[in-house]
Amino acid sequence: MRITPKTPEVRVPRLVGLMAVDARETAEARGVLLAAPDRPDFHLTVVDYVVRQYPPPGAEIPRGAVVTVWFDLGDAEGGSGVREPRLPRPPSGGMRRELDEPGDPFEVLR
């Protein structure tokens, strides 16, 4: 759906999952501007994928308003990296066998 230039309000397109170049083209076609705080060279970014946006898709904003997009999840929201060991450690105990049987090859050591 193409929105005419006379429309004062536009709906924010869904940009999450698009490559930077496609996100810029989609935003331009819908009459909104893009900003990327985690990419100072945003105008040169091509193949990075949008992982977050604000305002969310479908929100009505004035034509020419800025939609902020992010290409990196950041430290607090996921991504790759070392996840273990978690602190504090879980309490000792957990699931144990109730009784060891004599001669059991899988004897529980305490």
**pLDDT tens-place string over residues 43-62:** 888 888 999 999 999 999 99
The reported pLDDT for the residue numbered 69 is: 95
Instruction: Reduce the DSSP state of residue 60 to 3 states and report it.
Output: strand
The residues of the chain scoring below 70 in pLDDT are 1-6, 73-110
CA distance linking residue 7 with residue 29, whole number of Å:
13
Q: Are 7 and 41 in contact (CB under 8 A)?
A: no
